[in-house]
Amino acid sequence: MNELALFPLNIVAFPGEAVNLHIFEPRYKALINECLAENLTFGIPAYVLNKIELGTEVEIIEVTKTYDDGRMDIKTKALKAFNVNEFWNPWRDKEYAGGRVEYLPVSDEATDLSLLYQFKEMVAKLFVWLGETDVPDISSITSVYDIGHKIGLKPEEEYSLLQQSRENERLNFAIKHLEHLLPALERAQNAQERIKQNGHFKHLDPLKF
């Protein structure tokens, strides 16, 4: 097990994704400055279920802006998911929190390409329904994590996704979600069209009995 400085946030950071942060609290300015000085990573526990249990290690890629009062805009990249086995606030002699973490196992199981293809097809349909234009290239998707924040998951569902160590489990989870979401979008659109028609003059053929 490893010890990490911890920066709890109300987000789920998926391994591999870019996470941009605005740093303004004094304790977290201290955390970032120490990570920069010593080339260290830190952890973002996902505080979406009102508990500190699961999170993601991140590395600082770039400080894009610094302000006169010490605030910073930083770019980070999420690395590995972990469980928090012990949480200390404050940590050691620091102003910020830290903890003892255990990294989630990474499965070497091959991705089921039929599941991946089905997932990508459903994501494409979702974007059509939503009228999205600023979307990633569907053909470039190799993992649910690549697009996990853009498929309508609730924060607690993103949390569940992060807990799963196998890509095929994540694909099945996301496909099941989309199987419920896409028909719901179609029903909502049909209801919207019916509402729009209400109150308009209609030319209806008489029924023949």
pLDDT (tens digit per residue) in 134-171: 777 888 999 999 999 999 999 999 999 999 999 999 99
For the cut 90, the answer to whether the pLDDT of residue 46 exceeds it is yes
User: How far, in Å, are 6, 9, 100, 102 from residue 45 at the CA level?
Assistant: 7, 6, 12, 12
Q: Does residue 46 contact residue 9 with C-beta atoms inside 8 Å?
A: yes
Q: 2-103 has which CATH code?
A: 2.30.130.40
User: How far, in Å, are 7, 43, 183 from residue 94 at the CA level?
Assistant: 13, 15, 51
Q: Within 10 A of 25 (CB to CB), how many other CB atoms are there?
A: 12
What's the residue count for the chain?
A: 209
Cis peptide before 90 (omega within 30 of 0): yes
Per the listing, tokens 């990249």 go with 77
Mean per-residue pLDDT for 85-104?
A: 96
User: How far, in Å, are 5, 36, 174, 198 from residue 63 at the CA level?
Assistant: 18, 9, 33, 54
Domain locations along the chain: 2-103, 113-197
Please give the angle made by the CA atoms of 23, 78 and 51, to the nearest 5 degrees: 75
Mean per-residue pLDDT for 91-106?
A: 95
What pTM was computed for the model? 0.85
- Contacts of residue 24, Cβ cutoff 8 Å, sequence gap at least 6: 71
For the cut 80, the answer to whether the pLDDT of residue 197 exceeds it is no
For the cut 50, the answer to whether the pLDDT of residue 209 exceeds it is no
